[in-house]
């Protein structure tokens, strides 16, 4: 499918779909694809599809490549669901039925052959992932496992695999079911002119199958998996101590020594799932903020060179690389911009960032946008446009009024959506919350916080109306963003 020269899309994570205990790959996802097509949209952007941590954050997954079993649609679930996702409750409701699906599959001889074929094809990551999940269910966080298991003693692993064979098979089969459902949904979307843009977190969690299986690739103690170098960002206007993310940075020399094999595998697997990959924290490939593992804040970190173009050359040489978008927000230097441009990747512009004190020099204002970029009203880490407007001070509101004219509060989200569509940027992606004009209560995530409201927002069952689809398709037509015939 060739992308339109100008296109429009919607940002909505799968868990935010209505119906059931959590949004999943069932009927609601197909209805949303139909709505996107009717609304003249050619991109559906989702957040990482990996198994999320207990707080529901898809950016702290326990695997870099596995699919989240919570997204699997299972028979017998109620079509109704809570207004916000309770991830623990959703898993309690889904797990028994998912286990029933797994057992039913293995009672069928043809399905068992399909399972054997799938596990053989995915063995380079699936065996480690499934055993990791089974061990984590029994022992908790990997840092507290028995030493022989944490250090991957071969005999200890053999005993554990035998003892936990049923659980290992369950986690392997869940991946087969996820893959089937996701690929069916993706084919349905492509047949209707909708491409899937997926998100790839830059780092992986310390408690992950990746760090456990390949500790040499991360800045961790190989025996204890204790953090030796932690990712984050330096002190800035938002935080005088910076942000300490609690994830291990990469041992880039080890990655280079084996030809970036782990990254090639990760990108190849991601390319099987999505049409476009938005790489979070792209600037980390040029240089990354490395914080000592025992430091309480990010203030004592330092910038360390990343792999630069060498990694992307390896990915492209391997073939099959998807289209890539670069998340180039934050402290971006000329070197980061040069790497992005050398690779020919579109960066990002966010309209909520366009109205600070820098005035006309602000690169997020539409008249500064290059064609080679993706314009957003906001991202999953921003407030909704209405929430942003409500919390803005008088000076920022006056700058917005000077640019867009005076308007009622309720019309501000629509004005920024139209502003995004009118940009020369080739891609315009708008969070569903802004298309619906929702308040800050619909915010997806507040960075640097752990809260039950983070990641839990869901669209209302009646959100995807024909009237809204017609209006959005009209806007796409007005600004030349309808899909190519």
Catalytic residue among 127, 167, 179, 381: 381
Beta strands (DSSP E) in 146-206 are 195-200
Cα angle value 166/168/172 (rounded, 5°): 115
Number of alpha carbons in the 13 Å side-chain half-sphere of residue 389:
24
Cα–Cα distance between 32 and 10 in angstroms, integer?
Answer: 10
Give pLDDT tens digits for 129-167.
999 999 999 999 999 999 999 999 999 999 999 999 999
Q: How confident is the model at residue 3 (pLDDT cuts 50, 70, 90)?
A: very low
3-state secondary structure of 239: strand
Q: What number is the average pLDDT over the span 428-441? A: 98
Helix (H) or strand (E) holding 23: none
Mean pLDDT computed over 384-392: 98
pLDDT confidence bin for 448, thresholds 50/70/90: confident
Whether 313 is catalytic is no
- Residue of 291, 368, 373, 359 lying closest to 329 (CA atoms): 373
Provide mean pLDDT across the span 121-129: 97
Share of the chain above pLDDT 90, in %: 92
The yes or no reply on domain 7-68+183-478 and CATH 3.20.20.80 is yes
Q: Which long-range contacts (CB under 8 A, 24 or more apart) does 463-469 make?
A: 463/18, 463/432, 463/436, 464/31, 464/32, 464/35, 466/38, 468/39, 468/435, 468/436, 469/35, 469/38, 469/39
Q: What percent of the chain has pLDDT over 70?
A: 99
More confident residue, 438 or 238: 438
Which candidate in 77, 210, 280, 434 is catalytic? 280
Is residue 250 helix, strand or coil? strand
Across the range 179-184, mean pLDDT stands at: 98
Which residues are CB-contacts of 479 (< 8 A; sequence separation ≥ 6)? 6, 418, 421, 422, 428
Q: What is the mean pLDDT of the chain?
A: 95
Q: Tell me the per-residue pLDDT of 333-355, one tens digit each, with 9 for 90 and over.
A: 999 999 999 999 999 999 999 99
Global confidence as pTM: 0.96
What's the confidence (pLDDT) of residue 484? 83
Containing 133, the helix (H) or strand (E) segment is: helix 123-139
280 catalytically annotated: yes
pLDDT digits (tens, 9 = 90+) for 260-303: 999 999 999 999 999 999 999 999 999 999 999 999 999 999 99
The pLDDT, as a whole number, for residue 2 is 42
**Which DSSP state fits 218?**
B
The mean pLDDT of 87-94, rounded to a whole number, is: 95
- Tens digit of each residue's pLDDT (9 = 90 or more) over 34-69: 999 999 999 999 999 999 977 899 998 999 999 999
Query: Catalytic residue among 327, 328, 383, 434, which?
Result: 327
- For 416-450, give the DSSP string: HHHHHHHSS-SEEEEEHHHHTT--GGG----TT--
What pLDDT, on a 0 to 100 scale, did the predictor assign at position 328?
96
């Amino acid at each position: 499918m060739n992308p339109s020269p100008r296109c429009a899309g919607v940002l909505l994570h799968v868990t935010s779909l209505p119906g059931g205990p959590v949004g999943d790959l069932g009927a609601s996802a197909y209805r949303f694809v139909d709505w996107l097509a009717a609304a003249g949209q050619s991109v559906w952007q989702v957040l990482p599809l990996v198994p999320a941590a207990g707080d529901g954050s898809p950016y702290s997954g326990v695997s870099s490549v596995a699919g989240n079993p919570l997204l699997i649609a299972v028979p017998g679930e109620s079509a109704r669901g809570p207004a916000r996702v309770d991830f623990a409750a959703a898993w309690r409701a889904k797990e028994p039925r998912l286990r029933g699906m797994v057992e039913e599959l293995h009672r069928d001889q043809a399905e068992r052959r399909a399972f054997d074929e799938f596990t053989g094809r995915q063995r380079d990551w699936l065996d480690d992932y499934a055993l990791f999940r089974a061990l984590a269910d029994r022992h908790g966080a990997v840092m507290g496992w028995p030493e022989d298991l944490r250090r991957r003693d071969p005999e200890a692993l053999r005993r554990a695999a035998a003892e936990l064979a049923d659980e290992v098979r369950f986690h392997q089969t869940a991946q087969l079911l996820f893959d089937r459902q996701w690929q069916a949904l993706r084919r349905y979307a492509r047949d209707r002119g909708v491409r899937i843009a997926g998100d790839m977190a830059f780092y992986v969690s310390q408690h992950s199958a990746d760090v456990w299986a390949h500790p040499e690739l991360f800045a961790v103690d190989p025996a204890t998996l204790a953090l030796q170098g932690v990712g984050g960002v330096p002190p800035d206007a938002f935080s005088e101590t910076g942000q300490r993310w609690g994830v291990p940075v990469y041992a880039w020399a080890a990655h280079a020594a084996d030809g970036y094999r782990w990254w090639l595998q990760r990108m190849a697997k991601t390319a099987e799932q999505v049409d476009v990959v938005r790489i979070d924290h792209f600037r980390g490939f040029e240089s990354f903020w490395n914080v000592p593992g025992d430091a309480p804040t990010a203030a004592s970190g330092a910038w360390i060179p990343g792999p630069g173009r060498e990694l992307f050359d390896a990915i492209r040489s391997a073939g099959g690389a998807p289209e890539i978008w670069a998340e180039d927000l934050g402290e971006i230097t000329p070197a980061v911009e040069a790497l992005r441009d050398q690779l020919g990747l579109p960066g990002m512009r966010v309209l909520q960032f366009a109205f600070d004190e820098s005035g006309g020099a602000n690169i997020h204002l539409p008249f500064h946008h290059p064609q080679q970029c993706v314009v957003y009203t906001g991202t999953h880490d921003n407030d909704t446009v209405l929430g942003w407007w409500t919390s803005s001070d008088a000076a920022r509101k006056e700058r917005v009024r000077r640019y867009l004219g005076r308007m009622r509060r309720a019309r501000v989200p629509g004005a920024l959506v139209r502003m995004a569509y009118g940009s020369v940027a080739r891609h315009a992606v708008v969070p569903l919350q802004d298309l619906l004009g929702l308040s800050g209560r619909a915010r997806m995530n507040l960075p640097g916080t752990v809260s039950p409201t983070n990641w839990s927002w869901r669209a209302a069952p009646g959100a995807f109306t024909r009237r809204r689809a017609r209006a959005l398709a009209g806007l796409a037509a007005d600004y030349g963003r309808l899909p190519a015939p």
